[in-house]
Chain A
């Protein structure tokens, strides 16, 4: 990371420290009970309690959200290409694609868990369900954006449809696809955790439920913080790809 990039995010990092310090002071000063709001140091300590079982839960949620991210993004990309390239497919499928985004994931998750069981598959599918829409719409937008810009240039030199697709449409759509992937980086984690709420034997969502049943609020907050960090790490990976690819020429 370039120093200027680190500098850009310094205010956000400082804000986190100030917020945590303020929470710590408020909780201690007003003796706020931990089940209402635990002090940040208490949340930090609970991360390392043996019953938190952090490594296992992180590993499970990580694999579910990573596979959901990949599956949702690939399906979204392919569907985006299909609706961008075929007006008939656009007319037929786009209303359903848009409708799918209005389906409450909390309502569809129990059905998917019922169909696909309590294992990795159902969590991956719920996570992918949240991820496919941004990639599909952004791919569609990217490809349809490139078509009028470069159509004449490629036509003059007798380009085939496939050459036009590979050499103009896909590269021109990359910034749109990366923007969709950035959204998915956080959606994937949310999807996996929501599915774990419905039925799981491990994972951060499962841990959150366990902690709330036993009123272990510091541990609940610890899982929330870890899930946020996981989403941000996913986002960071996509962002790094964005930096490496797009900043070369933009």
Chain B
């Protein structure tokens, strides 16, 4: 069943230097529960695509439907969870208080308070139980990202948007978190769109990888990654992984982009 449908989406920013076309004629649809990786070079409009999906930007041209709703309607109904590139944790709130933020704002859920067992489960899933009373300044970069992910998952979103969820982390933390993320996404079952400029992350996390060209971003092709979810770290060493990686890299270079492989 198609959960997200994007039709002929284009977005142009007006700047002091004139108009900058970020995305052009992006069309695609994503199935319910599917994990899609959007891969492209820096500045190709990946984040713009996510912001349009979250209702934070109104596309210049084209439409988006999330379960038949506009992005703004989907946000109002809290169908969307978003983990930003910067974790944007509120530094005066503890880990638990940060995770609970989406439940405190906007239209309150009709079933009232979230059961504490669910919060416990979320903390356990993101391995933050031990740090539940810590403040963001007391956490490492990887932990802050896990808190941001837990916050995005709090309201069991039907559509989960992850903007460069592993950027800026060291190799070991990044690989660990990538494996954890695959497990969490599989367990949660939300339709997930992960934006990244790393070929490795895209191939590891996505069941399909949408490859965008350099600015203005347009879909070059979609690469399928058939390995079942959730993926283990050993997947990184398989022939299938290397093939998908090579296919993505070829597309990226044909689109004129410079890419990150780590």
Contacts and interface: CB of A to CB of B under 8 A. Distances in A.
Which one of A149, A158, A160 has the greatest number of beta carbons of chain B within 10 Å?
Answer: A158
Nearest to A164: B105
Contacts, number: 63
A248 B136 CA distance: 11
Main secondary structure of the interface of B (DSSP, over half): loop
A150 interface: yes
B33 interface: no
Given A155-B75, A156-B55, A249 B84 contact: no
A188 B75 CA distance: 47
Contacts of B91: 249-250
Interface string A142-173: 00000001101111111110011001100110
B135 A167 contact: no
B166 interface: no
B107 A158 contact: yes
Nearest to B155: A157
Interface in B66-84: 75-76, 78, 80, 82, 84
Given A153-B88, A158-B75, A250-B91, A167 B101 contact: yes
Which one of B76, B90, B155 has the greatest number of beta carbons of chain A within 10 Å?
Answer: B90
A135 to B, nearest CB: 19
Main secondary structure of the interface of A (DSSP, over half): helix
Interface string B147-161: 000000001000000
B32 to A, nearest CB: 20
A152 to B, nearest CB: 6
A168 B78 contact: no
Given A153-B88, A154-B105, A157-B105, A248 B75 contact: no
Interface string B4-16: 0000000000000
Contacts of A153: 82, 84, 88, 101
B84 A152 contact: yes
A174 interface: yes
A167 B84 contact: no
Contact of B105 (A167, A172, A249, A250): A167
B233 interface: no
Given A150-B88, A167-B101, A156 B82 contact: yes
Interface residues of B, number: 24
B137 A157 contact: no
A199 to B, nearest CB: 45
Contacts of A164: 105
B92 interface: yes
A200 B191 CA distance: 73
A74 to B, nearest CB: 22
B56 interface: yes
Contact of B92 (A159, A160, A171): A171
B171 to A, nearest CB: 28
Interface in B84-137: 84, 88, 90-92, 101-102, 104-107, 135-137
B54 interface: yes
Contacts of B51: 152
A151 to B, nearest CB: 9
Contacts of B55: 155-156
Contacts of A159: 105-106
A170 to B, nearest CB: 10
Given A152-B82, A158-B78, 16 more contacts: A152-B54, A153-B88, A156-B54, A156-B56, A157-B78, A157-B101, A157-B102, A157-B105, A158-B75, A158-B76, A159-B105, A160-B105, A160-B106, A171-B90, A248-B135, A249-B136
18 contacts: A150-B90, A152-B54, A153-B101, A154-B105, A155-B55, A155-B56, A155-B75, A156-B56, A156-B82, A158-B75, A158-B105, A158-B106, A158-B107, A160-B105, A168-B90, A248-B135, A249-B92, A249-B137
Interface of B: 51, 54-56, 75-76, 78, 80, 82, 84, 88, 90-92, 101-102, 104-107, 135-137, 155
Please list the 4 inter-chain residue pairs (A to B) with the smallest Cβ-Cβ separation, ordered nearest first: A158-B106, A249-B135, A159-B105, A157-B102
